[in-house]
Amino acid sequence: MKLNTGIKMLLVSSYPSRECGLATFSNDIVEAVINVFGDTLPIEVCALENEGQHFDYSEEVKYTLSTSNVDNYRLVAEKINARNDIGLVCIQHEFGLFSGEYGDHILSFILALNKPIVTVFHTVLPYPDEKRKKVVHAIGDLSDRIVVLTKNSQNILICDYDIIPSKTVVIPHGNHTVLWEQKEKLKEKFNFSDRIVMSTFGLISQNKGIETVLYALPEIVSCYPEVVYLVIGKTHPEILRREGEKYRDSLIEIVKRQNLENNVIFVNEYLDLKELLDYLTLSEIYLFSSKDPNQAVSGTFAYAMSCGCAVISTPIPHAKEALHHENGILLNGFDQSNEFQDAIFRLIKDSETRIAMGKNAFATSSATSWKNIAIQYRLLFDQLTNREDDLKFIFPPIKLDHIEKLTTDYGILQFSKFSQPDPDSGYTLDDNARALINMVLYNKVYPNENCLELANTYLNFVEGIQKEDGWFNNYKDFEGRLTPQNGEVNLEDANGRALWSLGTVIAHRDTLPLEMICRAVQCWDKAIQRIDNIKSPRAIAYAIKGLYHYYLTYKNENSKLQIEKLADELLHHYDIHSEENWCWYEDYMTYANNVLPEAMMYSYLITGNSKYKKIALITFDFLLSHYFMKGQLKVISNRGWFKKENERFFYGEQPIEVATTIIALDLFYEITQNKKYKDQLQLAFVWFLGNNHLKQIMYNPENGASYDGLEDTHVNINQGAESTLCFFKARLIMEKYSEYNLMNNFPILKEELSRF
């Protein structure tokens, strides 16, 4: 499929292989936009270089700008102006990047450009002198938007530099996604299992204030000799050029004088991203000791929080906004070794608080993952370029990682704390039936032995929880024992799902081992004897789906009659509860609503009864009318069901409802070939990719899991079996729509542009 490459964004910044924080930041933005939008938002780079510098760059760097050459600013701007395909220029601004007084030579570049301009201020200093104020105000006046990384910086721009508030946008510093459970594994890998690891990272300069921490350590290590402090990073290239290793040598001397050689390790490298994230992830405490009270933002600080470190920080503006008593410790001042000492002692003594702070930092950082930041930059790009065509999303890869991690030799565990499986949650038939269906379908598309092994595990669970009379229990603990829940809750839905899963296995006899088919049939034959026990609408619907798949293999009249009987029962529910403005089977909508019209359509496919198809279409369209609003999917909230006579609740959306919508839309499009179902199907899927009210991705790109819920202000980043299996199934369905490998139609974002 030929991609629509469209107009481009040009990023003006220092860029790797130049070693500086801003180069890393810009590279992260470029990679994030590519990962989310593919070639539908191409990015090129104009790399900034100082006099005498030249670096080897990757292919996205199309221009270099020598910042010490005044004429070069205008010449590069003219080259950019000659390009019709560049729609927006995004300038990453630090005062030290550009020559002239307060870097005012950048103004000649901005004045020469005839493209929309976004300037990203990484440093915003309060109480400016008149010259600095004029330079910043001029940049603000000539830019179409000013992006800052904190609310504090936004307030300073407005109050101290007289920047028009409507021109300013806060887009936080991004961070990378890591897996929580890697912390202990990485400590083992790096031989720190018996140590309490603290760290600091970044390009080293005197402004880092590392000596403040070193002076705090002697008393700490005398009480806790297992403490190790990692100072990660090379000396800043500009400092190295001017002063050599003077500052690092002074730190090494402090370590020697205080006999800290066994407790302080200098990692004198500019690490690649993976190794850097490994070091941060294995760290329990991150020490941020900057001496600069006006340091607006710190990428090192953001990365440490996203890696689950409890952070102790001096009170820079970024820390003041991000840190609170639940995720770290904000110090009162700068250069205060005693404050660091007290804070470190507190977190070492109280491991429970230390771990809780790290978990809270980890959880809140999900909102600012680089993929979510890419969506924010895309919104800005869309507004300023007046794009008529909607950008498209690329599919995330299908990953079995989290499903495999949740699966034991016994079955798939129910819940996960973040991405770490929770054995205490035990197992359910519900989840193992879903997992069985997923593996059968996945194996049909991508046959492999590992998938069959997983399917066999889940089938074992289904068999093992079936009673002699054919009925199924639902809940078992980690030891495989039945729990009291089986006698406390209605198990009809679980039994319906079991029939659905068994029917799915039986229907795939051409792609599964005969032994699995025989076991599924034996289990089915026992269960089908109890089908009259199923009375609830959703359980009926699941049973119909199972019978449909079974009938594809064994076309016996009895199965057809059972489908008719169950479908008529659903019709009976519809006749009782439906009204002119309420075309539904119940007086309320709860969870997995789509399965009801879906079952009616399956009933039509087997029986040919047109009434089933008619009611399927009426009820499905009625449901969809309440799900798709202003170009966005908004499913029924788990905070309260949508009752016929009551006002509907919003927020509290869960992946199961989104996935079942996609499953049903897939069927209805296949049967009717009505394009609206195809359009709604792909619109539903981009809920996972960021088309939701928070504009945040709902999946974990590291392990292929889905997050558990979309709340009003945050994403619940636990990754349980139900959510992950539902996302997996939805993603697998989207493989069928090859022309949608890049997702389009993201109209809700156009409405969101107004907030910029």
Q: How confident is the model at residue 53 (pLDDT cuts 50, 70, 90)?
A: confident
Residue 156 shares a structural domain with residue 205: no
Residue 411: exposure state from Cβ atoms within 10 A (0-12, 13-18, ≥19): buried
Is 414 among the domain residues? no
Whole-structure pTM value: 0.92
CA–CA gap between residue 222 and residue 219 (Å, rounded): 5
Residue 618 shares a structural domain with residue 663: yes
pLDDT exceeds 90 at position 756: no
pLDDT confidence of residue 4 = 43
Is 519 among the domain residues? yes
Is 230 among the domain residues? yes
Is 701 among the domain residues? yes
The Cα-based distances of 659 to 405, 406, 434, 452, 631 in angstroms read 21, 20, 12, 23, 17
Is 692 among the domain residues? yes
Residue 517 shares a structural domain with residue 601: no
Residue 147 shares a structural domain with residue 213: no
What percent of the chain lies above the pLDDT cut of 70?
96
Residue 704 shares a structural domain with residue 741: yes
Is 289 among the domain residues? yes
Residue 518 shares a structural domain with residue 619: no
pLDDT exceeds 60 at position 148: yes
CATH number, domain containing residue 281: 3.40.50.2000
Question: Structurally, how many domains does the chain consist of?
Answer: 4
CATH number, domain containing residue 696: 1.50.10.20
Is 753 among the domain residues? no
Alpha carbon dihedral 171, 176, 180, 186, in 10-degree steps, equals: -150
pLDDT exceeds 70 at position 5: no
Residue finishing a domain among 110, 139, 170: 170
Residue 198 shares a structural domain with residue 149: no
Residue 482 shares a structural domain with residue 534: yes
Alpha carbon dihedral 496, 502, 506, 509, in 10-degree steps, equals: 140
Cα torsion angle, 315, 319, 325, 329, sign: negative
Residue 324 shares a structural domain with residue 206: yes
For strand 393-394 and strand 742-743, is the pairing parallel, antiparallel, or unpaired?
Answer: antiparallel
Residue finishing a domain among 146, 170, 194: 170
Residue 159 shares a structural domain with residue 20: yes
CA atoms within a 13 Å half-sphere pointing along the CA-CB vector of 147: 22
Q: What is the pLDDT of residues 8-39, one digit of tens each?
A: 999 999 999 998 889 999 999 999 999 999 88
Q: How confident is the model at residue 530 (pLDDT cuts 50, 70, 90)?
A: very high
Residue 596 shares a structural domain with residue 512: no
Residue 161 shares a structural domain with residue 193: no
Is 262 among the domain residues? yes
Q: What is the pLDDT of residues 260-290, one digit of tens each?
A: 999 999 999 888 899 999 999 999 999 999 9
Residue finishing a domain among 116, 143, 170: 170
Segments forming the whole domain that contains residue 16: 8-170
3-state secondary structure of 21: helix
